[in-house]
Amino acid sequence: MSETKKFMYVNRKAPYGTIYAWEALEVVLIGAAFEQDVSLAFVDDGVYQLIEDQDTSGLEMKNFSPTYSALGDYDVKKIYVEKESLEERGLSIDDLQHLTWEDEDEDYAEKDSIQVVTRAEMADLFAESEVMFNF
Amino acid sequence: MKFTIQVNEGPYQHQASDSAYQFTKAALEKGHEIFRVFFYHDGVNNGTRLTKPPQDDRNVVNRWSDLAAKHNLDLVICVAAAQRRGIVDDGEAKRNGKDATNIAPGFRISGLGQLVEGAIQSERLVVFGD
Amino acid sequence: MSMLHLVNKSPYERNSLDTCVGYVKEGDTLLLIEDGVYAAMSSGKASAKLSGLDVAVLGPDLAARGISEERLIDGVAVVDYAGFVDLAAAKDKVQSWL
């Protein structure tokens, strides 16, 4: 398929309490093969997905949080986290995983994938996107 | 116009499958094309032929099967979600050594790529869930 | 690009309506379906959140819940499923705030 669309995956759910976050990530990974213009947004409880040091060993559930750090390898480089959603929850970017991608045009320099944006900026990003997935 | 519909919840627990069905039916009646209906998360449970709702209630599964037969709809159940939740067709039963199948007529099991392709090929993606 | 926003949850149970209205732009329409329709009742305090927005409500969901159109705030359009399809086609994309 030659057509490229602007995809926006909107993540609004916390991990583990329900499966939405994990199965959303599966869509993103599979979707990467279609070479679309992909962005991920984390708003509301979705910001909890990116918290560092998740340990699910006491639950016997798969800890899927390391998968986020592989997103760069799948060419998913635009990860937007909403500032207001973080602040409402008493979180800052320092509480989140440090996600990066390698820029092959700049000798594989490591670049940050996560951008913290305001709600107004997020609204603009949503408005510009062509297809929205909500999880 | 070409639509892809995504259904994220099973029958009866949530209204999502009902709303998706009514939307799909209305879109077809208006002459739109439904490129695909994709069942994800617990939505895969819409595709078991083993449900037996009381007679005075709607049959959510049969309703999808009937609509698919009438309009040649492509009803796709996500394979990864289906494997977790036990929705099985002949191919899946063979591959995974299961002793039974339960997929309803008109449904097929396939990969998540079908959802992404639907989103690319269609002009609108409409998602129904919890 | 214009958007049809879908909210299917009661504003008294979930924050989907609050989240949604934070992203509504000029030219967008908000369609309340399923338990989302309760937000449009003029007697409820959540109806204040809809002021200034282009709001539609799914009629069959209203009727199922025993809410007559007279109980809605002024200016909301009541549509059937065909009207829902028309709205989805008229806007550039559809977003469900699940």
pLDDT digit string, tens, across residues A23-39: 999 999 999 999 999 99
Whether the predicted pLDDT of A98 surpasses 90: yes
Q: Region C52-70: what's the mean pLDDT?
A: 98
| Beta-carbon separation of A31 and B112 below 8 A | yes
Nearest chain A residue to B3 by CA distance is A131
Count H helices and E strands in chain B, helices first.
Answer: 5, 5
Please give the pLDDT value at position B70. 98
Backbone angles phi, psi at A132, to 5 degrees: -115, 130
Give the homologous superfamily in CATH for domain C3-96: DsrEFH-like (3.40.1260.10)
Q: What is the CATH number of the domain that holds B19?
A: 3.40.1260.10
> 44-63 in C: which are within 8 Å (CB) of B?
60
Residue A38 has which token pair? 């992909």
Which residue, among A3, A33, A5, A17, has the nearest Cα to A133 in the 3D structure?
A5
Sign, CA dihedral C37-C42-C45-C46, equals: positive
| Beta-carbon separation of A134 and C1 below 8 A | no
- E strand segments, chain C: 3-7, 29-32, 55-58, 77-79, 93-96
Question: Do residues C98 and B129 touch, judged by C-beta distance below 8 A?
Answer: yes
Q: Which residues of chain A does B111 touch, with a Cβ-Cβ cutoff of 8 Å?
A: 30
| Beta-carbon separation of B15 and C34 below 8 A | yes
Give the CA angle between residues B56, B61, B63 to the nearest 5°.
75
User: Is the Cβ of C86 closer than 8 Å to some Cβ of chain B?
Assistant: yes
C neighbours by CB contacts (3+ pairs under 8 Å): A, B
CA dihedral B83, B67, B106, C89 (to 10 degrees): -60
Residue A39 has which token pair? 């962005």
User: Is the Cβ of C8 closer than 8 Å to some Cβ of chain B?
Assistant: yes
Q: Region A29-50: what's the mean pLDDT?
A: 96
ipTM: 0.97
Q: What is the DSSP secondary-structure string of B1-48? A: -EEEEEE-S-TTTSSHHHHHHHHHHHHHHTT-EEEEEEE-GGGGGGGB
Please give the pLDDT value at position A2. 52
Catalytic amino acids of B? 78
| Beta-carbon separation of A127 and C1 below 8 A | yes
| Beta-carbon separation of B26 and C88 below 8 A | no
User: Is the Cβ of B32 closer than 8 Å to some Cβ of chain C?
Assistant: yes
Question: Do residues B121 and B2 touch, judged by C-beta distance below 8 A?
Answer: yes
Q: Region B91-103: what's the mean pLDDT?
A: 97
Backbone angles phi, psi at A58, to 5 degrees: -75, -10
Which residue, among C1, C2, C3, has the nearest Cα to C96 in the 3D structure?
C3
| Beta-carbon separation of B117 and A1 below 8 A | yes
Domain spans in chain C, listed from the N-terminal domain onward? 3-96
| Beta-carbon separation of B120 and A5 below 8 A | yes
**What residues have CB less than 8 Å from C56, skipping those under 6 apart?**
C29, C30, C31, C32, C76, C77, C78, C79, C83, C87
User: Is the Cβ of A131 closer than 8 Å to some Cβ of chain B?
Assistant: yes
All structural domains of chain A, each given as residue ranges with its CATH number in brackets, are 6-134 (3.40.1260.10)
Backbone angles phi, psi at A56, to 5 degrees: -100, 10
Q: Which residues of C touch A (CB under 8 A)?
A: 1, 3, 15, 19, 22-25, 92-98
pLDDT in tens, B47-81: 999 999 999 999 999 999 999 999 999 999 999 99
Please give the pLDDT value at position A3. 75
- Checking DSSP bridges between strand C93-96 and strand C3-7, what pairing results, if any? parallel
Whether the predicted pLDDT of A89 surpasses 50: yes
How far does A80 lie from chain C, in Å, by closest CA?
15
Question: Do residues B127 and B8 touch, judged by C-beta distance below 8 A?
Answer: yes
How far does B128 lie from chain A, in Å, by closest CA?
10
pLDDT in tens, C10-25: 999 999 999 999 999 9
| Domain total of chain B | 1
Owner of token pair 């992203």: C23
| Beta-carbon separation of C97 and A127 below 8 A | no
Question: What order do you get walking across the sheet with A6-11 strand by strand?
Answer: A114-117, A78-82, A37-42, A6-11, A131-134
Question: Do residues A86 and A42 touch, judged by C-beta distance below 8 A?
Answer: no
Please give the pLDDT value at position A122. 98
Of C15, C24, C98, the CB nearest to A134: C98
User: Is the Cβ of B50 closer than 8 Å to some Cβ of chain A?
Assistant: no
Whether the predicted pLDDT of A1 surpasses 90: no
User: Is the Cβ of A74 closer than 8 Å to some Cβ of chain B?
Assistant: no
User: Is the Cβ of A133 closer than 8 Å to some Cβ of chain B?
Assistant: yes
- E strand segments, A28-99: 37-42, 78-82
How far does B20 lie from chain C, in Å, by closest CA?
10
- Checking DSSP bridges between strand C29-32 and strand C3-7, what pairing results, if any? parallel
**What residues have CB less than 8 Å from B55, skipping those under 6 apart?**
none
Give B34's strand partners.
Answer: B3
**What residues have CB less than 8 Å from A124, skipping those under 6 apart?**
none
**How far apart (Å, rounded) are the C-alpha atoms in residues A71 and A79?**
10
| Segments forming the whole domain that contains residue B29 | 2-128
